[in-house]
Every structure is written in C-alpha cells, then in structure tokens.
Amino acid sequence: MGRTEQDDNVLLDALSELNGWVADDGRLRRTLPLDESQHAELAEQIKIFADTLNVRPDVSRSEQATLIVLTRDGGFGLPDVTFAGRVESAYISIAGDIAAQEDSDLAKGRFTRWLRRS
C-alpha cells in the first residue's frame, strides 16, 4: 500500500518543524556550519541514528560546513524525517550557540514532539 496525501502532509508538517532541512526531488538535505571536531562528533552520532532507523545518509565535508543528504526511491518517509530530527537535536547539542543563532525557537526544542513519536 502506497503513501496517501495525508501521509505526505504529516511528513511535510514534521519537516517544517526542522530548521534548515530542505526537501526536493525526493531528497532531504541540510548544510550545517561546523568545524572539524564538531563534524567528527556529529558524524559519530549520525552513524548511530542511521543504523537505528535503517537510513543511508550521504555525509560530506566542505570548507566550514557539513552536508547531509538523504535519498530514497519513492521519496523520503517517516524514518528520514525522524533521522533529520535526531540530527538536528545532536547539532544543537554539539554546535551550541551557532545552532541557537540559526533559529532561537528550534534551540528551545519546538520540534521534539516529532522525535517522541518514533
């Protein structure tokens, strides 16, 4: 059974709660301003989240940023959005003030209700 329009709306609503995550062409992506040590710490967390949720992100490092891309045949789903939420939470913890400056509401945890559902 395929996804319904309601399923898609729930996913898009959940994604809208996450700062900086972009959905296009069935992909989810996020660029995070991190230094080398922060990137290494986040990469370790990403491995754990990816294994737990059975997602396969592409994580790359460029200049002063980390790029995360999730691609899945048929578009992204709940595991992908859950992964994005967990990455965002880890990013806030690791980057601290940098993450808080990006979106002060996000730093207050407005998206945590989506994490609790998974």
Domains, the chain? 5-116 (3.30.1360.20)
Predicted structure pTM score? 0.78
Q: Which of 80, 77, 72, 81 is nearest to 14 (CA)?
A: 81
- Edge-to-edge strands of the sheet including 27-33? 22-24, 27-33, 65-71, 58-62
User: What is the per-residue burial (b if ≥16 Cβ within 10 Å, else e) of 52-84?
Assistant: ebebebebeeeeeebebebbeeeebebbbbbbb
**Is the pLDDT at 68 greater than 60, yes or no?**
yes
Residue with more model confidence, 35 or 23: 35
Residue whose pair of structure tokens reads 């965002």 in the numeric block: 88
| pLDDT for residue 116 is more than 60 | no
Average the pLDDT over 35-56 and give the result.
Answer: 96
